[in-house]
Amino acid sequence: MPAIEKLLVANRGEIALRVMRSAREMGIKTVAIYSEADRNALHVRYTDEAVCVGPPPSNQSYLLADKIIAECKRLGVDAIHPGYGFLSENADFARKVTEAGIRFVGPSPEAIEVMGSKLAAKQAVAEYDIPLVPGTAEAITDIPAAKKMAGEIGYPILIKASAGGGGKGMRIVEREEDFEEQMDRAVSEAQSAFGDGAVFIEKFITSPRHIEIQVLGDHHGNIVHLFERECSVQRRHQKVIEEAPSAVLTPEVRKAMGEAAINVARACSYYGAGTVEFIVDHQLNFYFLEMNTRLQVEHPVTEQITGVDLVKEMIHIAQGEPLRFGQEDLEIQGHAIEVRVYAEDPTNNFLPDIGKLQTYIRPQGPGIRVDDGFEQGMDIPIYYDPMIAKLVAFGDNRDEARERMKRAIDEYEITGIATTLGFCRFVMDHEAFVSGNFDTKFVEKYFTPDVLKAPVPEAIEHLAAALAVQLLEEKKQASAPTTSADQSVTSGSMKNWKQRRWA
């Protein structure tokens, strides 16, 4: 197969830039697509060529498969990288791309199809003896039979949309008497959100960890894993903080999970980069959840601990090359933590915030990587995912990575918009995170908005006390009061400190 010369990135924001950077290092020309809301976006400025594909809503722009393929033909593009989200897990798109004679930098349409359905995925891995969460193996059609099954599995149970994703399409049922009502809601939600009403039941594991394995496969049947990422700190079943390696896996469990992940990939003749997700209980028993057939948001932590550029490897694979390393060539070096900087307000249920990045100053220095798609003065568009940036810290060990992350969060200056930075700073210092003894219930167990409400640091408390004493003295002596200029310096620096720390 000839080398790729011109790559269209069918995405926006940080991931579009991320992909273009690797392409550029490989001497590949890039084409960006953008919506009218993204005219001035960084991915549009970075690329060699750019085409506007439509108005802001993604179903009129970033999701227009036929239009994107037509642009590829017009511009002589020979490959498409879909990033994550949007068309990345759309089997029809992958098929159409290939039929148009363009290479899809991702797996086969068949693999996307099988793994895009959580039920089909479980059926596909059946012959490989992969541990599954107890539950129904097929879509529920007979509600009384399903209720009986739920009773046998034991409450609480989880009703899940087979086509669900992004933390959506899940309902916890605590008690048997709520079963029918929750079932009705789950089916209609699945139908309206994913166009597919198929739902199934899983035992709800009360306090699991989310640990996933990165895999890479080529067109020649070789598959390797690149160890794990732990993504247990979540809100709304969606990740906010990820790290590699996990603080709790033993070499034996790591090896067993790696082999299970390779088998899941084998079950769908996988090629490209993919992620096999598991939930893990207190005894480190692991259960297969689903496979994501694309580059994952949190892929940088794996890149930092393995030294592998995953996007480059995806491109090499799409060019038909055999994997450039074997399992024995891979090893974990150091530790990496990623925090997702979302335009969300942690003191208001993590609801998305909108507005302008009035101040936007990135952290720098040893062991810090920032993947973002914004600059100071830009607006966060309401049409897309509210993620501003991914901040990654890496070090020789977990403590160094954690200390670097704290230092970087303190250096990060964002004003004009609420972000998850203060929440992430809180997590870095929390005893449960520090010790590694945490699970997907971290936010429910430990987080309340008041932990972010302007903590008064000791130094300022002392300063305030000293000032009070001084004022009293001055009053007593009826001498000149403190000048207003002095006061404004004090309050100004206090405000600045608070903004820097918790913005």
Residues that bind ligand ADP (CB under 6 A): 84-85, 133, 158, 164-167, 202-205, 208, 210, 234, 237-239, 277, 279, 289-290, 292, 296-298, 385, 440
| CB-based contact 377:317 (threshold 8 Å) | no
Q: Which residue has the tokens 């930092």?
A: 304
54 φ/ψ sector (left φ>0, alpha ψ -120 to 50, else beta): left
* Comparison of 57 and 165: residue with beta carbon closer to ligand ADP: 165
* Comparison of 28 and 310: residue with beta carbon closer to ligand ADP: 310
* Comparison of 166 and 355: residue with beta carbon closer to ligand ADP: 166
Q: Of 294, 402, 404, 425, which one is the catalytic site residue?
A: 294
Q: Distance from CA of residue 14 to its chain's centroid?
A: 12
Buried b (16+ CB within 10 A) or exposed e, 321-358: eebeeeeeebebebbbbbbbbbbbbbbeebeebeeebe
* Comparison of 89 and 277: residue with beta carbon closer to Mg ion: 277
413 φ/ψ sector (left φ>0, alpha ψ -120 to 50, else beta): beta
Run of H or E including 223: strand 223-235
Residue 385 interacts with, from ligand ADP, Mg ion, none (CB under 5-8 Å by kind): ligand ADP
* Comparison of 44 and 112: residue with beta carbon closer to ligand ADP: 112
Residue sitting closest to ligand ADP (CB): 165
Beta bridge pairs of residue 277 = 212, 290
Distance CA 39, CA 56 (A): 10
Q: Which residue has the tokens 């809180």?
A: 426
Alpha carbon distances (Å) from 27 to 7, 22, 50, 57, 172: 11, 9, 18, 32, 49
Distance CA 40, CA 49 (A): 14
> What residues between 251 and 280 interact with Mg ion by CB under 5 A?
277
- Comparing CA positions, the residue from 29, 32, 38 lying closest to residue 58 is 38
> Minimum Å distance from CB 444 to ligand ADP?
11
> Minimum Å distance from CB 290 to Mg ion?
5
> Minimum Å distance from CB 121 to ligand ADP?
10
* Comparison of 84 and 433: residue with beta carbon closer to Mg ion: 84
> What residues between 314 and 333 interact with Mg ion by CB under 5 A?
none
Coil, helix or strand at residue 79: strand
Q: What sign results for the dihedral spanned by CA atoms 495, 500, 502, 503?
A: positive
* Comparison of 34 and 204: residue with beta carbon closer to ligand ADP: 204
Binding-site size for Mg ion (CB under 5 A) equals 1
Residue 377 interacts with, from Mg ion, ligand ADP, none (CB under 5-8 Å by kind): none
> Minimum Å distance from CB 47 to Mg ion?
30
* Comparison of 29 and 209: residue with beta carbon closer to ligand ADP: 209
Written as one letter, the residue type at 43 is H
Residue 57 interacts with, from Mg ion, ligand ADP, none (CB under 5-8 Å by kind): none
> Minimum Å distance from CB 319 to ligand ADP?
24
> Minimum Å distance from CB 241 to ligand ADP?
11
Pairing between β-strand 29-35 and β-strand 6-9 as defined by DSSP bridges:
parallel
> Minimum Å distance from CB 232 to Mg ion?
12
Q: What sign results for the dihedral spanned by CA atoms 366, 368, 373, 378?
A: negative
> Minimum Å distance from CB 331 to ligand ADP?
24
Distance CA 411, CA 415 (A): 13
Residue 133 interacts with, from Mg ion, ligand ADP, none (CB under 5-8 Å by kind): ligand ADP
Tokens encoding 417: 């918009």
> Minimum Å distance from CB 157 to ligand ADP?
8
Write the CB contacts of 434 (distance below 8 Å, at least 6 apart in sequence): 402
| CB-based contact 146:181 (threshold 8 Å) | no
From the DSSP assignment, how many helices (H) and strands (E) are in the chain?
17, 22
Beta bridge pairs of residue 361 = 413
* Comparison of 6 and 237: residue with beta carbon closer to ligand ADP: 237
Active site residue 294: yes
Write the CB contacts of 193 (distance below 8 Å, at least 6 apart in sequence): 161, 164, 168, 169
Residues assigned a catalytic role: 294
Query: Applying CB under 5 A, which residues contact Mg ion?
Result: 277
